Amino acid sequence: MKKFLLLLGPVLFSLALQGNVREMITPEKPVQKTVRFSIYASSNYSKSLYKQSKAKIILSIWRYKGRSQEQIWEGTVDAGRLRNYPSAEDPLFREVNLFGVKEHKEMLVAAYKVMYDSKGSTLAYDRGYIVPVGDSTKSVTVRL
């Protein structure tokens, strides 16, 4: 029994190191990812009720690796008044290309925050979407 336990220890140790050794021998090749944001007004904001209403959108992409997070891109869309945003038939696009992504070691999240301002009252909300492993493109739709 002692001999079995003595042999089992190195075997378990080598199995634990196998992932690290495999990474050293054949490292993961970085890939390119694309995130496409499309932004449009989903309602008719031409009525006088919305005359002074404004909206601002902050787009961002985050990288999560273990317990750490890093914002790797941020962009702002500020068309001013709600009525200035395009309709669903002709949305506003932002496309971001990300190079050197290690899919199996890090996770990407495409996010946006919408901030409304109407006569001094503000409302904000945000959403985030994981960029899936194996997909080279993620489309995110922002509806106002």
Across the strands, what pairs with 75? 59
The answer to whether the CB of 144 falls within 8 A of the CB of 39 is yes
pLDDT tens for residues 53-80?
888 999 999 999 888 999 999 999 887 7
Residue whose C-alpha is closest to residue 31's, from 126, 119, 133: 133
With bands split at pLDDT 50, 70 and 90, how would you rate the model's confidence at 5?
very low
Q: 53 lies in which domain range?
A: 28-143
* Domain count within the chain: 1
Residue 13, domain member (yes or no): no
Residue 1 reports pLDDT greater than 50: yes
Q: What is the pLDDT of residue 13?
A: 61
Q: Where are the beta strands (DSSP E) in the chain?
A: 31-40, 54-65, 68-81, 92-101, 107-118, 121-131, 137-143
Query: Does the residue 123 lie in any domain?
Result: yes
Query: Is 5 among the domain residues?
Result: no
Cα gap 30→71, rounded to integer Å: 18
Bigger pLDDT: 140 vs 3: 140
pLDDT band at 134 (very low <50, low <70, confident <90, very high): confident
Whether residue 7 lies inside any domain: the answer is no
Q: Is residue 49 part of a domain?
A: yes
Q: Are 100 and 110 in contact (CB under 8 A)?
A: no
Domain membership of residue 86 (yes or no) is yes
Residue 66 falls within a domain, yes or no? yes
Question: Which pLDDT value is given to residue 29?
Answer: 84
Q: Is 111 contained in some domain? A: yes
The CATH number covering residue 66 comes to 2.60.40
